[in-house]
Structure 1
Amino acid sequence: MNWLKTLFPRNRKIPVIKRVPRAEHPISRSQFPSGTLKVLYGLKDAGFEAYVVGGGVRDLLAGMEPKDFDIATNARPEEVRRIFRSCRLVGRRFLIAHVRFGDEISEVTTFRGPITDSHERDETGRILSDNEYGTVETDAFRRDFTVNAMYYDIRDFSIVDFAGGLEDIKAGVIRLIGDPELRYREDPVRMLRAVRIANKLRFRIEKGTAAPLRKLAPLLREIPPARLFDEVVKLLQCRDAVANLHGLREYGLLAQLLPHTDAAFDNPQMHAFVERALGNTAERIAAEQTVSPAFLYAALLWPAVARRIVKLCDGDDAQINVAIAQASDEVLAQALKYIMIPKRFSVPMREIWALQPRFEMRRGGRAQRLLTHPRFRAAYDFLLLRAHSGEVAQELADWWTEAQQGEGLPPLKPTRPDEAEPGAPRKRRRRRGGRGRRRPGGDQPSPPGA
């Protein structure tokens, strides 16, 4: 138990472990998927301990439907593989067993050992090596929050509460296990998880757990960009995206992940654009419609792209396409310093941005070709967001909405002289220089925000 004294600050008591019998809690094994039950009973029948742990127990106690059910056991990964033929071992630093039954994959982890001074750390305190096994007790106190350290025991259907999670569930509180600054330094991603879990459960972050967040936010720069990409998707591609965005800003975390997006909040128009984009994403998820990280990141980075386009064009609308390409390169290069964005998402992002000027070219063949573009629907949805925030005229978005519904292109309601309805008299342009030269911007869209 000496290792517990290093985990908790001197002014805080070590929690008392409680076992709650089946008659005193609401969780029933009938709430677990069949694959989860097969893994639990398979481990139990082989003589091992087996528990459902973490978010599955937490969400059920909070009255929510869990997305998945993680299993913890004292069986080593190789032993799990011998029990289940459908098992596959994954991971490098700490092996995890994935057991498949039909379409369901259960994640099985072996109890982890306690954190000690022998663990390899970097200069910020982040743990670099972690491959020691332990007991259910050491595993519980390795978990981040009290509400994640509750274990459902398949042997007697009881819940083992190691850190006071049941009390915090009742109080609606997210609280770190142990000393907050020490635990955040061990793994800075816990700061992001605090915001996400609190908003998911509609809980508040306990005062001591929230206190170090702004001070330690720069530690996120030490996390591999690939891991941060996944964490941002979890935070901002969900039903609680807007609340998570505000939480990230409140604690200074957004500036460490997406500094361009954080700066966009100084512009009310772009602030409204980003919030609307996240709100639409939440609505699509609630309606069980598909969502893509490409569209999410396109929206998050657009304020920086739009601002850069205006500077590059400098009033010369003829340069809009070149400006968009250059702005996209520059903003993506800056973003990749903080978060990895795979090409399978960055390429569609660039296409969504590049198609925006083409929506202003509504004559005949150009409009028809745009309607058949493979990325039209995503770019059109993006246009609607821009119109909603006031960045472009609502009439433009309405025209494209009607263009998709009718048999032919709707008539134009010109907003500029060059957008007159086909066939209408047009004022002749004065030519300068040689034959065929046109004044810059004569048939080019305006830059964003112009």
Structure 2
Amino acid sequence: MLKKLFKPFRLPRQRKGPEQPTVLEAHEHRLSSADFSRNSANVAVRLQHAGFQAYLVGGCVRDSLIGVTPKDFDVATNATPEEVRNEFRNSRIIGRRFKLAHVHFGREIIEVATFRSGHSDTSDTDNNDQSAHDISGRILRDNVYGSMEDDAQRRDFTMNALYFDVSSEKVYDYSTGFADIKRRLIRLIGDPEQRYLEDPVRMLRAIRFAAKLDFEIEDSTAEPIRRLAYLLRDIPAARLYEEVLKLFLSGHAVRTYELLCEYGLFAELFPNTAKVLQQSPVNVDLLLRNAFISTDKRISNERPVTPAFLFAALLWPVLSNRSISLQNDGMHPVPAAQEAAHQVLLEQVQRIAIPKRFSLPTREIWDIQERLPRRAGKRADTLLAHPRFRAAYDFLLLRESAGEQTQGLGKWWTQYQDASDSVRRDMIAELSGKGDKPRSKRRRKPRTSKPKHTQPSPH
């Protein structure tokens, strides 16, 4: 047990301030040091013995209180990143907007952040490491250090502002975090509108936590979201990409999708898909829901999930409409589909920066959809050997599950994969009688040489 390894350590007396925490004893919260990773507890205790304040904080405390095993462990301290680096040789300083230290223990990384204070109203006019906002109030840098009380007040949600002392096993609550967790409520600390202006991504975090934890968003926290959803347009596309992965790959994609639509955030992330969703609400909604159900199921079964498949589903309705439009303008179906794929991805990466390692497989999944009906000759076997075939086949079944008519294509490919060689030959031969014939090569007529005119032989 970790608590047996750590001797109680008396912290320096803290100054009294206007915000006095509620101190919860071990018998009140029923957490112990054993609920956290050994490495995270070691980091906190080692910093304490070096003369610093150090607490486990945030998601690991929240998850432990609701009975969920934490995956990530954060430590908050009054030590600066440089002081943490000096204390731990296995650490490195990261970040510019929010500088902190990562302490490495093999594959486990303990994130150590210095207590932050509130923000001034200064604009981003210099290059120092202080706090800075843009004209809309969004935080550009956040490296103004403060006390533990300051740090608690600048955190986003009350449930994430609980500090656990490994040595004494006390929990320090500077807001209503402990009570809100019991009520299963997500509540912003401070004025909600101002907090969203500081960082609009907090709206997405509220949705993610509500879906992941099955919590309700408290009324005053929820009210500004629809009005301020447009603020996401100012967030860098690379950051939104990371947030989208967290939203849809947490194992609760279906509920996340519902909440994003309810609060008007889905249209800010996928504007073109949202437009098609309004035009064909039943089929598009069913396609997306089935994609999210499949994703959640794979995550629940600890099977791998690729963002490429997710983006293929999220953008397929847009691609289909765009391809039909191009065909109506006279373009052949295959180049129309390829041009539509190019346009759709080009437009989407302006909002969410999908990296090429996922956008290229997304295009491959789409491209194979055009090849799946063409099975005659050796085409079926060639396609079956394609490294992206399985994802494309699953995507075909997804399309069919949403009501898309494919003339039994999914059933055919399901049978073909499991069939013997002789059965496969019969299936291909049967297609030839239904008009799915390979393009025959034109036979050249043999060239006939003209007879040579010979001179009559002399007598």
Whether 1:296 and 2:302 are equivalent positions in the alignment is no
Instruction: Give secondary structure in 1 for the equivalent of 2:56.
Output: strand
Q: Does 1:201 align with 2:210?
A: no
Write the letter of the residue equivalent to 2:24: V
Q: Is the 8 A contact 2:120 2:132 kept in 1?
A: no
Q: Among 338, 342, 352, which residue is 1:329 paired with?
A: 342
Find out whether 1:276 has 2:290 as its counterpart.
yes
> What is the Cα deviation at residue 147 of structure 1?
0.5
Q: TM-score, normalised by structure 1?
A: 0.87
The aligned residue for residue 442 of structure 1 is: none
Give the Cα–Cα distance (whole angstroms) in 2 for the partners of residues 289 and 299 of structure 1. 18
| Structure 1 position 82 matched with structure 2 position 86 | yes
Q: Decide which of 142, 145, 149 is 2:161's aligned counterpart.
A: 149
Deviations 1:277-336 (A, max 9, x none): 1110000000001111111111111110011111112397x8222011100111112112
Query: Structure 1 residue aligned with 2:396, among 383, 389, 401?
Result: 383
User: In the alignment, what sits opposite 1:262?
Assistant: 274
Residue type at the aligned position of 1:181? E
Q: 1:283 to 1:412 in 2, by over 3 A?
A: farther
What SS does the aligned partner of 2:104 have? strand
Q: Which amino acid aligns with 2:332?
A: Q
Equivalent-residue separation in structure 1 for 2:142 and 2:394 (angstroms): 45
Q: Compared with structure 1, are the counterparts of its residues 49 and 393 closer, same or farther at alpha carbon in structure 2 (3 Å cutoff)?
A: same
1:339 matched to 2:352? The reply is yes
With over 3 angstroms needed to count, the CA separation of the structure-2 counterparts of 1:359 and 1:315, relative to structure 1, is: farther
Number of aligned pairs? 413
Please state how far the C-alpha of 1:256 moved relative to its aligned partner. Answer: 0.9
Secondary structure of the residue that 1:360 maps to in structure 2? coil
CA distance in 2, matches of 1:352, 1:166: 46
Is the partner of 2:430 in helix, strand or coil? coil
Q: Deviations over 1:179-207 (max 9, x none)?
A: 00000000000000011101111111111
Partner of 1:311: 325
User: CA separation in 1, counterparts of 2:181 and 2:403?
Assistant: 42
Distance in 1 between the 2:201 and 2:98 partners?
17
Distance 1:394 1:65 in 2: 47
Deviates more, 1:111-120 or 1:347-356: 111-120
- The residue aligned with 2:299 is 285
**Pair 308,71 (structure 1): closer, same or farther in 2 beyond 3 Å:** same
How far off is 1:124 after superposition?
Answer: 1.5
Alpha-carbon distance, 1:394 to partner:
7.0
Alignment of 1:95-114 (within 5 A): 95-114=99-118
Spell out the pairing of 1:369-380 with structure 2 (5 A cutoff): 369-380=382-393
Alpha-carbon distance, 1:65 to partner: 2.0
Residue 23 of structure 1 corresponds to which residue in structure 2? 27
Q: One-letter code of the match for 2:267?
A: A
Partner of 1:403: 416
Query: Amino acid of the residue matched to residue 340 of structure 2?
Result: A
Counterpart-to-counterpart distance in 2, 1:137 and 1:198: 26
Aligned-residue RMSD, C-alpha: 2.4
3-state SS of 2:391 partner:
helix
Structure 1 residue 393, shift from structure 2 partner: 3.3
Aligned residue type for 1:173 = L
Q: Is structure 2 residue 69 aligned with structure 1 residue 65?
A: yes
**Identical residues among aligned pairs (%):** 49
Letter in 1 for 2:225: L
Tell me the residue number matched to 2:369: 356
Structure 2 CA distance for aligned equivalents of residues 65 and 117 of structure 1:
39
The question of whether the paired residues in 2 share the 8 Å contact of 1:313 and 1:323 is answered with yes
Q: Name which of structure 1's ranges 38-47 and 159-168 shifts more when overlaid on structure 2.
A: 38-47
Give, in whole Å, the separation in 1 of the partners of 2:68 and 2:423. Answer: 47
In the superposition, relative to structure 1, how do residues 399 and 17 fare at CA in structure 2: closer, same or farther (>3 Å)? same
**Corresponding position of 2:12:** none
1:122-165 deviations in Å (ceiling 9; x for gaps): 22211223211111111111100000100101231100011110
For the residues of structure 2 that align with 1:262 and 1:16, how far apart are their CA atoms? 46
The alignment status of 1:214 with 2:226, answered yes or no, reads yes
Matched, 1:234 2:243: no
Tell me how far apart the structure 2 counterparts of residues 16 and 271 of structure 1 sit (CA, whole Å): 48
Counterpart AA for 2:199: D
- Contact (CA 8 Å) 1:240, 1:282: kept in 2 or not? yes
Which of 168, 171, 182 is 1:170 aligned to? Answer: 182
Aligned with 2:188: secondary structure? coil
Q: CA deviation at 1:395?
A: 2.3
Deviation at 1:74, TM superposition (A): 0.9
Equivalent residue number for residue 261 of structure 2 = 249
Amino acid at match of 2:410: A
Q: Secondary structure at the match of 1:160?
A: strand
Structure 2: unaligned runs, 5 residues or longer: 1-17, 123-130, 444-459
1:128 match: secondary structure: strand
CA contact (8 A) 2:162 2:177 kept: yes
C-alpha deviation, 1:408, in angstroms: 2.7
Between the aligned partners of 1:423 and 1:346, the Cα distance in structure 2 is 35
Following superposition, the deviation at residue 404 of structure 1 comes to 1.6
- Bigger relative contact order, structure 1 or 2 (CA pairs below 8 A, ≥6 apart): 1
Q: Match of 2:380?
A: 367
* Distance in 2 separating the partners of 1:177 and 1:426: 66
**Aligned 8 A contact 1:53 1:71 in 2:** yes
Asked if the contact 2:152–2:161 (Cα under 8 Å) also holds between the matched residues in 1, the reply is yes
| Structure 1 pair 410–173 and aligned structure 2 pair: CA distance change class (3 A) | farther
- How far off its partner does 1:96 sit? 1.3
Asked whether 1:421 is paired with 2:430, we answer: yes
State the alpha-carbon separation in 2 of the partners of residues 243 and 412 from structure 1: 45
Change beyond 3 A, Cα 1:315–1:226: closer
User: How far 1:92 sits from its partner (Å)?
Assistant: 1.1
Aligned to 1:160: 172
Per-residue CA deviations over 1:382-411 (Å, capped at 9, x if unaligned) read 111011112133721121122222223756
Shift of 1:425: 8.2
The 8 Å contact of residues 50 and 153 in structure 1, kept in 2 or not, is answered as yes
